């Protein structure tokens, strides 16, 4: 990926005021994790004292925690001392031209229909053409600036908007939330910050791609989105292109605050390297994503298409605090070969007449294991809260597994909670029917699976939806013998 060292240079070249001694010259933190690692990262980013303290508090808490084992995923124990927790983004492009790119990745790019310029950007190729996209970014930033929308890297926000960060950081996902949230809070590298002022409707889909100065976000990303009263934003995370990363462990946090009458739509396409057919390599993706509907009639909608990673552990959730607030979760999770996914959502109803909807489509092929895990909690005071959940599992082949773990806790008698679950196989009858109309078995499976995921794809912004369909086709490749 193309990177920009400007911020980092500014940060590291200015005088450091907080009395910390370490090897600031080095680009990488030494392997392992102790308090000095946390101090190193904070110093590298020239962070204010309060943030260092915040990180240290999280780190000390993390030391008291045990790695969670309740998820339905299996992997060798992670050695947390064998990880480099900070490495400066590399400025130099890794390749001189696309010809040097791994042919397999190149082929996937082509199948996804990614433009040449975009391919070069993703592959980290240095060419003049990329400058075009930089100017595009600048135009976007100007448009957003006129509306008072802030969209920048997390590090920038720490320096430019400390009050907002201080107020909201950890307000939705506190460092005490879970093992990986604590770890992220201690060592997070960078991420995105987004602020939509009162009454503003963000005129474009905000994509991490258009974030100026986006350095390599690294393995411990942190995103914070704040939508003030009556505002609207649609945020896109990720990219359908295959992402390779030398870091095996990823533990990101996303926090969303939606105030009265505000709506935040958050769409993810996750396509990290899943490992090879035998389960070698691949990213461990342990993410904590949560939003809070602070005010009345606030709305948060999560849509995710998860096709990558060796292990996915992820439960984008909504706390429905305001009365009449709405939480939505639309998910497609595909696992192939040896992939494992344990994903779902939590809908915590606190306010009156709050509403949530959960549509989860799990697709398992190969020898993969795919679990839906979801919690719907209706608090005592959540009068007339409503939830509808639909969890469907689709099996392709007979060596994979689909599991559903729904948890429902209802504390108020006026609540209405519905849960529907189905498990089906891509039928031979369906495939034969398609065959008889001239459609090959592979295309038939794509057609059937896409139809199966339609409700979720419909929630994605148009462009993303088209890409997601293609991505699905690639993820399913070789799933039928």
Binding site for another protein (CB under 8 A): 427-430, 432-441, 443, 447-448, 450-455
Min dist CB 344 to another protein, Å, is 21
Write down the least CB distance from residue 331 to another protein, Å.
Answer: 15
303, containing H or E segment: strand 299-306
Q: Which is nearer to another protein, 21 or 462 (CB)?
A: 462
* Closer residue to another protein (CB): 112 or 444: 444
* Cβ at position 430, least distance to another protein in Å: 5
As given in the structure block, the two tokens for residue 108 are 């996937």
Q: Strand locations in 28-93, DSSP E?
A: none
Per-residue tokens: 331:
């998910």
Shortest distance, position 199 Cβ to another protein, whole Å: 37
Instruction: Look at residues 348, 365, 431 and name the one whose alpha carbon lies nearest to residue 399.
Output: 365
294 versus 434: smaller Cβ distance to another protein: 434
Q: Is 146 or 429 the residue whose CB approaches another protein more closely? A: 429
Residue carrying the six token digits 């392709």 = 396
* Residue 87 falls in which region: left (phi positive, over 0), alpha (psi -120 to 50) or beta: beta
CA–CA separation, 242 vs 174, rounded Å?
A: 31
Alpha carbon distance 380, 350 (integer Å): 8
Residue 418 or 428 having the CB closest to another protein = 428
* Closest to another protein by CB, 201 or 454: 454
Name which of 257, 259, 227 is nearest 147 in CA terms.
Answer: 227
In angstroms, give the least distance from the CB of 107 to another protein.
20
Tell me how long the chain is.
481
**Nearer Cβ to another protein, position 64 or 436?**
436
Of 87 and 450, the one with the shorter C-beta distance to another protein is 450
- Minimum distance from residue 438 beta carbon to another protein (Å): 4
- 318, 289 contact by CB (below 8 A): no
Of the CA atoms within 13 Å of residue 75, those in its CB half-sphere come to 31
CB of residue 422 to another protein, shortest distance in Å: 10
Q: Which residue has the tokens 């005010």?
A: 295
In the complex, the smallest distance separating the C-beta of residue 445 from another protein, rounded to whole angstroms, is 11
Token reading at 314: 């992820």
- How far apart, in whole angstroms, are the C-alpha atoms of residue 149 and residue 206? 11
- 376 neighbors 405 (Cβ within 8 angstroms): no
**Cβ pair 73, 313 in contact under 8 A:** yes
**At 267, is the secondary structure helix, strand, or coil?**
strand
Residue 443 beta carbon to another protein: minimum distance, rounded to whole angstroms = 7
What's the min distance (Å) between Cβ of 113 and another protein? 15
CB closer to another protein, 382 vs 445: 445
Residue placing its CB nearer to another protein in the complex, 318 or 426: 426
The owner of tokens 């933190």 is 29
CA 193 to chain centre: 14
| Angstrom distance (rounded) from CA 439 to CA 451 | 15
């Amino acid at each position: 990926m193309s990177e920009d060292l400007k911020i980092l240079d500014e940060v590291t070249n200015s005088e450091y005021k907080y009395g910390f001694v370490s090897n600031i010259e080095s680009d990488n933190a030494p392997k392992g994790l102790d308090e000095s690692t946390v101090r190193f990262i904070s110093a590298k980013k020239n962070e204010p004292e309060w943030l260092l303290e915040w990180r240290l508090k999280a780190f000390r808490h993390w030391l008291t925690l045990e790695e969670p084992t309740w998820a339905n995923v299996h992997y060798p124990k992670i050695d947390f001392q064998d990880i480099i927790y900070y490495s400066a983004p590399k400025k130099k492009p890794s390749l001189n031209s696309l010809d040097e790119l791994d042919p397999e990745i190149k082929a996937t790019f082509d199948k996804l229909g990614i433009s040449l310029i975009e391919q070069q950007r993703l592959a980290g190729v240095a060419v003049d053409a990329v400058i075009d996209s930089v100017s595009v970014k600048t135009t976007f930033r100007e448009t957003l600036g006129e509306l008072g929308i802030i969209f920048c890297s997390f590090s920038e926000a720490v320096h430019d908007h400390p009050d907002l960060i201080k107020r909201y950081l950890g307000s939705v996902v506190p460092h005490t939330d879970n093992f990986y949230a604590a770890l992220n809070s201690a060592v997070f590298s960078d991420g995105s910050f987004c602020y939509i002022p009162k009454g503003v409707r963000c005129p474009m889909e905000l994509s991490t791609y258009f974030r100026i100065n986006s350095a390599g976000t690294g393995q411990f990303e942190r995103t914070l989105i704040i939508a003030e009263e009556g505002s609207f934003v649609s945020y896109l995370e990720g990219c359908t292109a295959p992402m390779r990363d030398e870091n095996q462990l990823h533990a990101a946090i996303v926090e969303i605050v939606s105030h009265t009458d505000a709506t935040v739509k958050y769409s993810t396409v996750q396509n990290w390297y899943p490992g090879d057919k035998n389960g070698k390599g691949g990213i461990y993706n342990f993410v904590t994503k949560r939003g809070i509907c602070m005010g009345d009639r606030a709305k948060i909608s999560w849509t995710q298409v998860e096709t990558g990673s060796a292990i996915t552990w992820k439960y984008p959730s909504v706390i429905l605090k305001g009365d009449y607030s709405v939480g939505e979760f639309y998910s497609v999770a595909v696992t192939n070969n040896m992939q494992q996914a344990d994903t779902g959502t939590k809908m915590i109803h606190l306010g009156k007449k709050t509403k949530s909807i959960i549509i989860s489509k799990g697709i398992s092929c190969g020898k993969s294991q795919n679990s839906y895990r979801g919690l719907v909690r209706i608090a005592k005071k959540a009068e007339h809260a409503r939830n509808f959940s639909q969890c469907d599992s689709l099996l392709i082949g007979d060596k994979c597994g689909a599991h559903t773990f729904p948890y429902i806790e209802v504390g108020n008698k006026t609540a209405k909670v519905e849960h529907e679950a189905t498990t089906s196989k891509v039928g031979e009858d369906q495939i034969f029917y398609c065959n008889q109309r001239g459609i090959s078995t592979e295309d038939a499976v794509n057609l059937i699976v896409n139809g199966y995921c339609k409700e979720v794809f419909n929630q994605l912004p148009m462009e993303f939806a088209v890409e997601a369909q293609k991505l699905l086709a690639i993820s399913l490749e070789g799933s039928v013998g």
